[in-house]
Amino acid sequence: MTLSPRAETMRRRVSNPFMFWFWLVTKLPAAWWCGVRLREITPEHCVTSVPYGWRSQNPFRSTYFAALAMAAELSTGALVLLAAEDAGVPMSTLIIDMKASYGKKATGLATFRCDDGVSVFRALAEAKVSGEARTIPLETVGKLEDGTEVARFVFTWSVKARGR
């Protein structure tokens, strides 16, 4: 899938570690504090991570569920923001539901991957044309470096073109 020039510029900016760091500090300081990082973003998928460490741990010697949720949300939200930029019109975006299941304790770097980019771009294109809100359930799976699944989230996003 080819991105519009504006969306490609956005993708390159958030892929730059310094630019992303600055964006996190100003827009999502809690995610910055926990060490959430954007590892990769394409129109098809997004990969984020959060380390296990003193800033993201709970008293049970694993990554706090809220830190995992921040990385998981970013893996879906970055795709929504990229598709909204690609649509070329102002979009209203909102999470209307979240489901989570946790498997093993996250005791290392947890990496989340959302592969629903095509669905996101399709839904935002439909919302742009119709002026109606669309809902998109986006699944992201978090794994440790050895492949152990630690969490699975489904965020349901509502998107609508503004001013309609």
DSSP run (H or E) holding 149: strand 149-161
pLDDT (tens digit, 9 = 90+) per residue, 77-88? 999 999 999 988
**The predicted structure's pLDDT at residue 46:** 97
d(CA 116, CA 140): 9
Asked whether the beta carbons of 95 and 135 are under 8 A apart, the reply is: no
**Coil, strand, or helix at residue 127?**
helix
Domain 5-161 in CATH 3.30.1370.100? The answer is: no
Structural domain boundaries in the chain: 5-161
d(CA 46, CA 86): 16
* pTM for this model (two decimals): 0.92
The separation between CA 164 and the C-alpha centre of its own chain, rounded to angstroms, equals: 26
Structure tokens at 114: 């959302």
**164 pLDDT band (50/70/90 cuts)?**
low
Position 63 pLDDT exceeds 90: yes
